[in-house]
Structure 1
Amino acid sequence: MTGERQILIGSPSATADLGTFLTRALRLDDAAVVRITNRGPKHFTIWSRTGFDVLAARTIPGRSTPADLVAAAEHLLHNLRGAHGLTVDPGYSLDSAWQGALPPHDGFTHIDDIPASRIIALAEQGQAVAREHGSSQGPPVSLLDQEVITVTDGADVTAAITMRSVFAVAGMGFVPRAPSEDERVRVRHHPAWTRIDARYGSIYARRASMPLFTR
């Protein structure tokens, strides 16, 4: 192990979940950097920058040492595949590669649920537009910033979901590609964040006008 940096994964199924998350993060960004933070005594949350200026996260049984670490997704996935047992070396620290604060675990309130099929349909439509009007740099910013869903709690809380979040939910595989009619994603509100909770993970988008990361 590199110093005392290690990840103890809670079960073989959790190992598979971590591997899937890393694989999908690397599909969105082949130089992806991930951050792992402990959540309680028996779980950790893995965070990834998606390339859409939103964060992807999944909570997995296990424990990280130290309690907050940053690693290269490709290196971690390589070590995960070669690990014997449930302890994995995350590699050298890349703390300087992660800029920007993480969302809080608490303080979110439920706004509304929307069909997962709507997310998939919008992602497919957006991909078609991106193929037609995008460039080597990816989809046009005007498409990414387009507000495609607005949810409200029926009172005074409203959240707008842009194509950035839609692409991230679909790209990370957080909902099935052919969801059932009753499959839903849950939209939650925080003064600084909008969170979309899907079956296999969550997406966090800044509500403020400031960018999620500085360069």
Structure 2
Amino acid sequence: MTERRVLEFPDRAERENLATFLSRAVRLDPAAVVRLRRRGDRQVAAWVATGFETLAMRTVDAGLGVDDVTVGADVLLAGLPADGPVELGYSMDSAWRGALPPVEGFTHVDDVPARTLVDLAEQGARLAKEQGGHGPPVALLDQPVLTVSGAGAGVAVPMRVVFALTAMDFIPHAARPERIGSAEMVRVRATRTWLRLDARFGSVARRLGGGIPLLAN
């Protein structure tokens, strides 16, 4: 039986959910690719690179005709408004060069107020602007700006992960921090080799020690 290279959605809300995610990815990189990975029969994880050596992910309710495929984010985005199955277009698997973090094995370290992370991103943006140049300097991106401890573990969160989280608009009302409720949290999880931040609208992940490993997953 031939697998169909299509995405199928149970309702329009899930199409819009994925479209929002892809719009943000294309805003960061017009040539972005998206890696789609099936999770059971009813969910699909969509992954993109953010430009901060940090991956971003959103899970949507959908059916994927193949187990794992990488396609152009702009092509998929253009096909989402139409009704019916969404054709995925040409495979771009060779354009995805990094491994994905594991699905399981993460330890919940602690929860951090979302407002704290938005404030850190704003401070980092101001520092980058003061230092000039094209984009934030590497020293600023790699600087640990938050240490989170709990469950017998402790992890340092670098600025590049905070920038990735806010650049993808995963925190509600990030553009107007005064509207972020005190109960709005970002969950910090980690394995021995990966750091992951889970916000309301998506997750970001980075390999501990830096970079995305060039390994098959």
Q: TM-score normalized by structure 2?
A: 0.91
Structure 1 counterpart of 2:31, one-letter code? A
Quote the offset at 1:134 in angstroms.
Answer: 4.1
> Whole-Å Cα distance in 2 between the matches of residues 206 and 110 of structure 1?
16
Structure 2 counterpart of 1:49, one-letter code? A
Report if the CA contact (8 A) 1:34-1:48 is conserved: yes
> Whole-Å Cα distance in 2 between the matches of residues 40 and 15 of structure 1?
18
Match for residue 104 of structure 1?
Answer: 102
Q: How many residues align?
A: 207
Question: Could you list the per-position Cα deviations for residues 176-209 of structure 1 after superposition, in whole angstroms to 9, with x for gaps in the alignment?
Answer: 1132111100001111101111001111110134
Question: Could you list the per-position Cα deviations for residues 139-166 of structure 1 after superposition, in whole angstroms to 9, with x for gaps in the alignment?
Answer: 11011101001001163x1111011110
Structure-2 change in CA distance of 1:213 and 1:139 (3 Å): farther
For 1:148-187, list aligned pairs within 5 A: 148-153=145-150, 155=152, 157-176=153-172, 177=174, 178=177, 179-187=180-188
Quote the offset at 1:213 in angstroms.
Answer: 5.1
Which deviates the most, 125-134 or 111-120? 125-134
Structure 2 unpaired stretches of 5+: none
Identity of aligned residues (%): 45
Aligned to 2:80, the other structure's residue is in SS state: helix
> Whole-Å Cα distance in 1 between the matches of residues 205 and 102 of structure 2?
10
Aligned to 2:97, the other structure's residue is in SS state: coil
Report if the CA contact (8 A) 1:53-1:213 is conserved: no
Structure 2 counterpart of 1:174, one-letter code? F
For 1:71-150, list aligned pairs within 5 A: 71-81=71-81, 83-85=82-84, 87-136=85-134, 138-150=135-147
Structure 1 unpaired stretches of 5+: none
Structure-2 change in CA distance of 1:192 and 1:213 (3 Å): closer
> Whole-Å Cα distance in 1 between the matches of residues 191 and 159 of structure 2?
19
